[in-house]
Structure 1
Amino acid sequence: MRITNFIIALLITAMAGPALASMTTAEQIHSGAEQFLAAFSDAQGNEGFTVSYDTGQLDPRLSLATCETPLSVSFSGDPWKSTQPSLLVSCKGDRPWRMFLPVSITITGEAMVAARPLGRGERLTKAAIQSDSVVVNSIRRGAITNIEQLVGMEMRRGINAGTVFTPDLVLAPAAIERGDHVIISARSGNFSVNSRGKALASGGIGDQVLVENLSSSRTVRARVTAPGHVEIPM
């Protein structure tokens, strides 16, 4: 499972010596960040992803108030949509503080790509999709990693072979097209009455569309529940 809000409390042991016992040093913050990223890397490795990272540099002269509680480290942004998120390091003790530490991170894994050139409006089949190893978090719109999320969808625009699939490239096909004859279900609890109608607009499952009731010639707004079926509340 992806972890987009990955938070670990890290206990940073104060270094020996009276001068250092009253402050949190850059070295301790850097160590906490390393532990956090190592844990994140291990967690993603269990899901088939490879994570590499660089915590960058801190001014070695940095010193902050001693934290009497474990330091909290978390991503301040979504590491799945950026290769340069920041870490939020904070102390929630009697003398609280917070700071941001820039890091570089790459998450490599299998994502779905086009097996061949695809045209606008084309319905996707498994033969049109293949997996490839990509830097997942360099795809800012979010790479699709599950083929089942794509099969049966339609292309919003044409793409070349090898293009990584992202949610903005596909849309659910219309379950009802304008002019289709449909079954209108008027439902109240477990009781329903069906009538025949004609769709006045196209829509996918869950969309609201205008439908003409062919018996009464009334126009009603109904929710698409399945191909050829709409529902209105009673």
Structure 2
Amino acid sequence: MLQNALHPIAVRWTRALCVALLAGLACGVGWAQGMNALPPELLNRLQALAQSGAQAGAPAQARVEVQIGQLDPRLRLAPCTQIQPYLPAGHRMWGRSRIGLRCTDGSARWNVTLPVTVQVYAKALVAAQPLPAGAELTQEHVRLAEIDLAADTGSIFTQFSGLDGRALQRPLAAGEAVRSTDLRQRRWFAAGERVQVLAAGAGYAIASEGQALEAGFEGKDVRVRFENGRTVTGRAVGDRRVEVLL
């Protein structure tokens, strides 16, 4: 992933999960599915749980907004006085997601999920004007604006250095975020060019040169032939550079 792209941080995720566990303690409120709305106490805990989960992968100054949905009306749940909200495993609290609800009062035993929509607002680079597919980005093409990071997949950018010289693989509307998934892969070298090959293993690294047998695109495997005729497969990692892990 590019250095200037924002991405989830494992340490912050772990910390947020700890907060989420505290927020998800059982709610001592009575509730039955036939009620028109969830009790305020339960809604507050759901909001706190979703907020902590969303902030785990968000920039420090991001603004998080949570919209709590409704249970499937086809469910028939028994009344419950102890409801415990929790984060289902594998569900990221960005965009459209779900929060779990389980009854733990001993008389009724049910476990369901509730839809939530989470928006995470922060500043990122967006298209300053409509841009066609194939456009090679310059600083005049982008500007900083607040966007919903959770609205789409792909990493966003906060500094132009991560976009310099990159080309779009699809058109962008004015104000639309520039994401890693919108960019064409860099071609680091062409077939037949001389490339530097770095072979790395446990405690050592060896550098050599060879001829690329195919074009080297960013992050893709490519075959390289040395002067002695030996062929290796490595990953294109930079301008005329190939990395082989042994």
TM range (shorter): 0.5 to 0.7
Matched, 1:222 2:244: no
- The reply to whether residue 164 of structure 1 matches residue 177 of structure 2 is yes
Q: Report the Cα offset of residue 169 of structure 1.
A: 0.8
Normalising by structure 2, what TM-score?
Answer: 0.64
| Structure 1 Cα separation of the partners of residues 242 and 231 of structure 2 | 13
Counterparts of 2:100 and 2:216, CA distance in 1: 43
Which structure features the higher share of strand residues? Answer: 1
Letter in 2 for 1:146: T
For this pair of structures, how many residues does the alignment match? Answer: 218
Q: Partner letter of residue 187 of structure 2?
A: A
Structure 1 CA distance for aligned equivalents of residues 210 and 216 of structure 2: 15
1:178 to 175, 183, 191: 191
CA displacement at 1:170 relative to structure 2: 1.4
State how far apart, in whole Å, the 2-side matches of 1:118 and 1:134 are.
18
Q: CA deviation at 1:216?
A: 2.4
Q: TM-score, normalised by structure 1?
A: 0.67
1 CA distance for matches of 2:155 and 2:186? 20
Q: CA RMSD in A?
A: 4.1
Q: Which stretches in structure 2 are left out of the alignment for 5+ residues?
A: 1-6
Q: Deviations over 1:164-222 (max 9, x none)?
A: 2233211441222223211234555425252x322122224543211232x22444323
Map of 1:49 onto structure 2:
63
Query: Aligned residue for 2:45?
Result: 35
Offset at residue 88 of structure 1 (A): 1.6
Question: Cα deviations across residues 110-165 of structure 1 (Å, max 9, x unaligned)?
Answer: 3431123434444434443222233444x343572534684244322333332222
Q: Is the 8 A contact 2:50 2:93 kept in 1?
A: no
Larger radius of gyration: 1
Change in Cα spacing, 1:91 to 1:57, as seen in structure 2 (3 Å) is: closer
1:203-218 alignment, distance < 5 Å: 203-213=216-226, 215-218=227-230
* Equivalent residue number for residue 110 of structure 1: 123
Pairing 1:141–2:153 present: yes
For residues 79-121 of structure 1, give each alpha carbon's deviation from its aligned partner in whole angstroms, at most 9, with x where no partner exists. Answer: 4233xx4332124575642123344554444343112343444
1:57 CA displacement: 7.6
Q: Between the two proteins, what is the percent identity of the paired residues?
A: 20
User: What is the match of residue 95 of structure 2?
Assistant: 81
Counterpart of 1:190, as a letter, is Y
Amino acid at match of 1:224: A
- Residue matched to 1:18: none
